[in-house]
A and B are shown apart, each in its own frame.
Chain A
Amino acid sequence: MSAIETSEGGLVARAIDWRPLVLVPLLIAAALPLVGSPSTWATLTLAGLAMGMMIFIMASGLTLVFGLMDVINFGHGAFISLGAYSGTLLLLPLAGWLAADSLALNFVALLAMIGLAMLITGIAGYFFERVIIKPVYGRHLHQILVTVGGLIVAQQIIIVLWGPIQITLSLPTALRGIIVFGDIAVERYRLIAVVIGLVVFGGMLLVLNRTKIGLLIRAGVENREMVEALGYHIDRLFIGVFVAGSALAGLGGVMWGFYREALTPGMGLELLVLIFIVVIIGGLGSVGGCFIGALLVALTANYTGFLAPKLALGSNILLMVLILLWRARGLYPVAKR
């Protein structure tokens, strides 16, 4: 029924909509006079960027799945905790590498943990899609209910397997500590988070814009029936995207676990709330919007955490409200939704 609206705007609207792009630099610039000291400001900004990258990694899968298949997965939060917890399986076997004061060994150990987490969450995502979501395609009400059920069950299974208490996680030796440029202090791990986030974002843009699979995904977001009419199995494509999105959630989970240096079974639900805010700000289904949304949310959280800690909680909601007042469907609304 919504297919009628797609032609609105047509080719002209395809030109890059630059206004949301300005928001991030604008926010960073506006914070400088408020924070006062440039070195604090730089530290806060970098911390915000690092946090934003991690949130983006976790949120991108959710928004892509929604864009492609009109499925909103409340169970996404469970993959984050699952990823973080399955990463810890390697803590003991790789203890030597993690404790060694060598950047290379630490890095390999971190990558191994990430790899295992992505593998496990990818497999879990496959089964989640087949068992839980497949029977309720096209029915939003049921999707929401069923995936919420899935989130709860997964969270409880994590408690059964790993116990209800918080697990503390310490960073690999060489990734701890700070690097000082002039009078700006930057935590090493945050730099790594920014790098990994940029790699994921770049890789995603590359796949989406430069490969055939990416072309099909983008076409599927625009008009699913047409892609199917051309003879492509969009279902298979969708499972692929779903598995990739789950694996990214797992990656984000490991990174977040190291960032907070602690894992709790409830982390999935807490992060899900943050991710929803990001995805709503960015526009459901838009990867670019999700990236900007993640940076905005994280930067705002960091600045308000410093300027007015009491407001920090409400700041995300306030940001969302402001963005929705400006654009009721988020920064980059996907055409047909």
Chain B
Amino acid sequence: MLRALLSDDYPRSRVLSAALLIAFFGLALAPFLFSGSQSLNAAAKICYFIVLVASYDLLLGYTGIVSFAHTMFFGIGGYGAGIALFTWGPSWSSLSLGTAIALVLSTAVALLIGLFSLRVRAIFFAMITLAVASVFAILASQLGWLTGGEDGRTYQIPPLLRPGFRLFEQDLFGVTINGRIIAYYLVFLTSLFLFLLMLRVVNSPFGRVLQAIRENDFRAEALGYRTVLYRSIINCVSAGMATLAGVLCAVWLRYTGPATTLSFDIMLDILLMVVIGGMGTLYGAVLGATIFLLAESYLQNLMGLVSKATAGLPLLPQLFDPDRWLLWLGLLFILSVYFFPTGIVGKLRGGAR
């Protein structure tokens, strides 16, 4: 059973298994373990970011292609669901129609980008995705009548998922089971399902070919695999997964805007999570996303404290200003690419041997 669920891809390290179990149970029981809406928000964010980061790892870690358009697909999902709920009212049918439109749109865009750039060289792909994604981000903020511009869109979700809804009259283990908690479990279970699905994809014969392409595309081609085809398919799959993550984000936040879905900062976050967790293993995405998102708010607070403590000194307060979070993130990113290329999962697995 477990073997089938994990597609025969066990963590292969005791510490890693323990960490994954903690993450799993922590997320599965989050509404009962932690009180307050802030921790539930954090848990939901971790869930959909795991899907987002894992889907990016399909490209970066498994196939060896760098894309900068992942937030664009995330955004298409977010805007697809958001605009549908905004215009056609908070019903399940508008949510599913919006999701379907978003999926079709992002698969088509991914296919088009792939057709133009994956034929030639991986580096083309990185450059073209950066260009397309930035134009898309500007477009999304300019088409105000559709997307709400810089302010984004706030909308209602189906009644079942609203905080006012009660599933039972009594509390369960001291927690009121309201629509918010149902929404959380919707996000959690969908994320879990998508994650296991991706695990299935990378451990299939198809996934093995992807890894062969990553290691040596020349040889993979010589063995008779049409590398362009494989790259295009995984590009579309990854885009689709990112879109679904965007839908989850839109449902959970009840808001879609450029800052939560399309900004380059999120792209950098994704890159960092993949690299810290470990490229080329989906478990890395789980650990990377969890650790990063948990650390983010604490570290930003810490930076605020340091900034205040050094207030009299030159330059230091500006360096540690919480708004300069990206500076340290960038440094951490460069250092981890150099010294820590296999990430946490790689270290843990290497130590176990």
Contacts and interface: CB of A to CB of B under 8 A. Distances in A.
B264 interface: yes
A307 interface: no
A142 B329 contact: no
A324 interface: yes
A160 B334 contact: no
Interface in B240-267: 264
B130 A276 contact: yes
Interface in A259-297: 269-270, 272-273, 276-277, 279-280, 284
How many A residues are at the interface, by size bracket? Answer: 35 or more
Contacts of B135: 273, 313-314, 316-317
B315 A156 contact: no
A156 B323 CA distance: 9
Contacts of B275: 145
B66 A153 contact: no
Contacts, number: 101
Contacts of B123: 72, 140, 144, 284
B334 A146 contact: yes
Contact of A277 (B131, B139, B333): B131
Given A72-B123, A156-B330, A160-B327, A149 B337 contact: yes
Interface string A15-36: 0000000000000000000000
Contacts of A218: none
Contacts of A159: 324
Nearest to A143: B123
B330 A149 contact: yes
A136 B338 CA distance: 8
Chain B contact residues, majority secondary structure: helix
A264 B218 CA distance: 43
B131 A156 contact: no
A63 to B, nearest CB: 11
Nearest to A279: B127
A150 to B, nearest CB: 7
**B60, B121, B130, B142: residue with the most chain A Cβ atoms closer than 10 Å:** B130
Contact of A152 (B124, B268, B337): B268
A148 B271 contact: yes
A332 B138 CA distance: 30
B212 to A, nearest CB: 16
A320 interface: yes
A140 B122 contact: yes
A100 interface: no
B131 A320 contact: yes
B119 interface: yes
A203 interface: no
Contacts of A279: 127
Contact of B116 (A160, A316, A324): A324
A281 B9 CA distance: 43
A150 B327 CA distance: 10
Contacts of B324: 156, 159-160
B182 interface: no
Given A132-B334, A160-B324, A328 B127 contact: no
A144 B126 contact: yes
A273 B131 contact: yes
B323 A164 contact: yes
Contacts of A321: 116
Interface in B256-290: 264, 268, 271, 275
A329 interface: yes
Given A156-B327, A317-B131, A144 B66 contact: yes
A135 B338 contact: yes
Interface in A224-282: 269-270, 272-273, 276-277, 279-280
Task: Give 4 nearest A-B pairs by CB, closest first.
Answer: A156-B327, A152-B330, A153-B330, A149-B334
